[in-house]
Amino acid sequence: MRDIHKEEIILKGIPVSGGVALGEAQVLRDPSFQIVRRQIPASQIQEELARLDKAREKAIGELQGDKSKAIKAVGEQAAKVFEAQVMIASDQQFFQAVADRIVAERINAEYAYQEATAATLDRLMKSKDPYLRQMVHDIAAVSDRILSFLLGVGTGGENGFANPTILAGRIFSPGQIMAYAKRNVVGFLTEEGGPTSHMALIIRSLGIPSVMGDFSVGEKLVAGMQLIIDGNSGDVIINPDIETTKNYRRMRARKLTQPFGVLLNARSIAAVCRDGREIALAANLEIPGPVDEHLVRLRIGVGLFRTEFLYFNKQTFPDEEEQYQVYSAIAKKFNPLPVTLRTFDLGGDKYAEEFGKVHEDNPALGWRGIRVSLDATRLFKTQLRAMLRASAEGNVKILLPMVSDVGEINETLELVDKIKRELRRTGIPHNDGIAIGAMIEIPSAAMSADYLAQKVDFLSIGTNDLIQYTMAADRGNFRVAKYYLGHHPAVLQLIHMTVQAGHENGVAVTVCGEMAGAKLMAPFLVGMGVDELSMNPTRLPELAEWISRFRYSDAKRFASRVMRLSTADKVMAALKEAYDYVDKLKQGDWRDEQP
């Protein structure tokens, strides 16, 4: 047993997802880092073999449970993945070989098991047969389950952890987050993955508080400790005392701990400047979530639906019918509000562990987004067909991620036309005039925005990536966070070029990166003429209220002044000055002088 100090300690981290949570710490280390080879005495061999058997039985039990649940929830087809995994976990020959090695070498079960699995995965990865390569994901998923039982950090069983849990670790993949969110995990504490990382996006969309920082997870911060994490301030309180705990409970009783609290209680949300200009607002969604019905009630559509999370949820590509079901459900729910479905943006940090073995030296500069889609045409066609079919059910738009050249748009439009012809021939309803947009998140796209705008119906600036590619600073790497500057003149210039190109071609421009939800940037983006801001739903009420405090005409002057500033520091100073100014204003209390 570790010595758990009882003294209250407050650590400062970086807020990643709003809200406050209280729970017991569990530390999840990436098993591949943690497993060491241990020599065991002969007397312990039987015990070790029993441990292996038990872990395997538990995994099979869990998989069978998941399979039945999946059949109920999504049908037989979706449950096939679990069937394959049960077969893998039942492979007698494989487990006999592991057992033989434990006996022969007198080693611990997790080490023997991991070695055998790694060898199998290695062989499959090298295979030319796509079916065998596809099995890699299933084997890895089974291995994760069995190892987690062997290591004693099991998924917590059917009903999850016994107590509300704050899960701490280096970083979590979207798949892990989705799984643990259902298992009584009320907060995430990580050492890596900044506020614009994909991990952060998915945690936020689930409304779970999260903080990132250097907390010596596994050493000073250990399993079993009581924690309060504040995803708004970044505070992490270890061993909270009675008074702190009482305060937390009072906040919780008043719903102040919930990130979605304000949105759920809002009566209407609109971003109308004092001189009448309205900026359209939209929501970024990753999964059908707890706020959808409130967005519909507040007349807010979806500016970005990150469809790759369908993949993360299952770790396999959903077929046309499954995708159609999801897309048409959301289109119907929001109709007539727009629902912007973005095609899969896989690659980069979105492969996380599922594709961990497809090695690219620079994944962010690699095979990602539309590049993957255009190479894997069957996959792309399936997705586009599902989206087109869903367009008959509501106001669906299609958005293409990671575009770097007009040729990619041409190729996609040809494919879309071909699918439309097929649908027409077979009498399948769809919206023939469906709007298709391009994400502007690579400098080359911003610089060719004029050509792109001539081909598409709308542009959407993804600042999360645009910043990382312009500044050469990984969005999830805290070591280079100081270079990841959304307010750098180069980034602002690219936003400016995009808005101008869009408007010259009669095409609306949205900002859908995290910048859209930042109060500090709002006067600049509004003044630049951005038509729509699409953001995490939790940010909507505050942004709308903030924008309603100032005039568009003033924001326009402010933006053109900022565009003449030569350094990020000067821009930051101007943004802060404007922020302080707007901060002092209450609605209906505008003074005419301006910063």
- Closest residue by Cα to residue 517 from 477, 447, 589, 463: 463
Which entry of ligand PEP, Mg ion, none binds 474, CB below 5 to 8 A by partner kind?
none
CA 371 to each of CA 186, 398, 409, 456: distance values in angstroms, whole numbers, following the listed order:
36, 16, 11, 18
Listing DSSP states for 112-124 in one string gives HHHHHHHHHHHHH
- With H, G, I as helix, E, B as strand and everything else as coil, classify residue 539: helix
| CA 319 from centroid of its chain's CA atoms | 21
Identify residues 327-356 at the interface with ligand PEP (CB under 6 A).
Answer: 345
Candidate residues 174, 175, 462, 502; the one interacting with ligand PEP per rule CB under 6 A:
462
The question of whether 273 is a catalytic residue gets the answer no
Total binding residues for Mg ion by CB under 5 A? 3
How far is it, in rounded angstroms, from Cα 283 to Cα 384?
22
Query: Least Å distance between CB 365 and ligand PEP?
Result: 14
| Minimum separation from the CB atom of position 311 to Mg ion (A) | 16
Q: How many Å from the N-terminal Cα to the C-terminal Cα in the chain?
A: 59
Under rule CB under 6 A, which residues in 280-319 are in contact with ligand PEP?
A: 304, 306
Choosing from 308, 441, 532, 554, the residue that interacts with Mg ion (CB under 5 A) is: 441
Q: Which is nearer to Mg ion, 475 or 551 (CB)?
A: 475
| Minimum CB distance to ligand PEP smaller for 193 or for 513 | 513
Which pair of tokens denotes residue 424? 């027409």
The contact mask relative to ligand PEP for 135-174 (x = CB under 6 A, - = no) is ----------------------------------------
Give CA–CA dist 331/339, Å, rounded.
6
**Phi and psi torsions of 498, nearest 5°:** -65, -45
- Stretch of residues binding Mg ion (CB under 5 A), selected from 95-103, 149-157, 460-468, 544-552: 460-468
Torsions phi, psi of 258, nearest 5?
-85, 130
Among 258, 307, 382, 463, binds ligand PEP (CB under 6 A): 463
Sole binder of ligand PEP in the list 144, 230, 393, 465 (CB under 6 A): 465
**Whether 137 is catalytic:** no
Say which amino acid occupies 43. S
Q: How far is the CB of 391 from Mg ion (least distance, A)?
A: 23
Burial class (CB in 10 A: 0-12, 13-18, 19+), 30: middle
Alpha carbon distances (Å) from 274 to 26, 33, 413, 477, 581: 49, 56, 40, 39, 15
Whether omega before 336 lies within 30 degrees of 0, making that bond cis, reads yes
- Specify burial of residue 333 (Cβ count, 10 A radius: 0-12, 13-18, 19+): middle
Partner in contact with 512, chosen from ligand PEP, Mg ion, none, beta carbon below 5 to 8 Å by kind: ligand PEP
Instruction: Classify 511 as helix, strand or coil.
Output: strand
Among 66, 144, 393, 465, binds Mg ion (CB under 5 A): 465
Binding-residue pattern over the window 22 to 41 for Mg ion, x denoting contact by CB under 5 A: --------------------
Does the protein bind ligand PEP through residue 176 (CB under 6 A)? no
**Contact region with ligand PEP (CB under 6 A), list: 53-61, 166-174, 360-368, 459-467:** 459-467
Give the residue with the Cβ less far from ligand PEP, 143 or 464.
Answer: 464
Annotated catalytic residue: which of 5, 137, 198, 488?
198
User: What is the C-alpha separation between 493 and 512, in angstroms, rounded?
Assistant: 17
| Residues labelled catalytic | 198, 512
Residues that bind ligand PEP (CB under 6 A): 304, 306, 345, 441, 462-465, 512-513
Residues that bind Mg ion (CB under 5 A): 441, 462, 465
